[in-house]
Every structure is written in C-alpha cells, then in structure tokens.
Amino acid sequence: MQAVLRITQIAPPEVTLKIEGRIAGEAVAVLEQECNSRIDDGNCVRLDFADVDSVDEHAVEVLRRLADHCVRIEHASPFVAALLGEGPLQ
C-alpha cells in the first residue's frame, strides 16, 4: 500500500509545513526534500504534525537527522512523539 502524504506550506513569515497523513515509504524522501530545499534557502522549518497518522522507522531516522538542521516538529500526537523519542512535542 502506497503512503498518502500531503504537504502544505502555511503563509510566512516563518516557514511552516502542515503535514497530513502517513510518513512512510516514498513519502519520507519527499518530506526530506521539501525540508532540505527550505533549509538550503537559509530558513528554519516548522513541521505541523497535528494531522500525521503515523511514521515508519525510516521516517523516524530522517526526522531525527532533520532536527539537527533547524527543523522543529510541533503538535505531534503522543504516539508519534514517543516514536521520535522526544515525548510530547508542542
């Protein structure tokens, strides 16, 4: 089953991407590319995870790596936050 992921950039001044759906399979690379393109432009990125259903193991690895490069996850469910090993993120 192919993962369904929707990424919407919310209006500036800060770069916020609202993420919806499942972050798994090919969707992990898409999310990583979206974040990296904004980081390369000199921006920090906030990811709104309020509507993220789940993340796979590869997504967890990528998200942890992105967190070291000016990417912040907000509004993750307790389940997703626990997978990321950071407790509830708000």
Domain count, the chain: 1
pLDDT at 90: 39
Residue 35 lies in a domain: yes
Please enumerate in sequence order all residues whose Cβ is within 8 A of that of 20, keeping only pairs 6 or more positions apart, or say none.
5, 6, 7, 8, 51, 52
Contact at 8 Å (CB) between 14 and 46? yes
pLDDT at 43: 87
Query: Residue 57 belongs to a domain with what CATH number?
Result: 3.30.750.24
Residue 23 lies in a domain: yes
List per-residue pLDDT tens for the chain, 90 residues long: 556 778 887 766 678 999 999 999 999 999 999 999 999 888 899 999 999 999 999 999 999 999 998 899 999 999 899 988 864 443
Domain extent at residue 35: 5-83
Residue 48 lies in a domain: yes
Residue 38 lies in a domain: yes
Residue 71 lies in a domain: yes
Strand pairing partners for 17? 9, 47
Contact at 8 Å (CB) between 24 and 3? yes
Helix (H, G, I), strand (E, B), or coil: what is residue 56? coil
φ/ψ region of 21 (left if φ > 0, alpha if ψ in -120 to 50, else beta) reads left
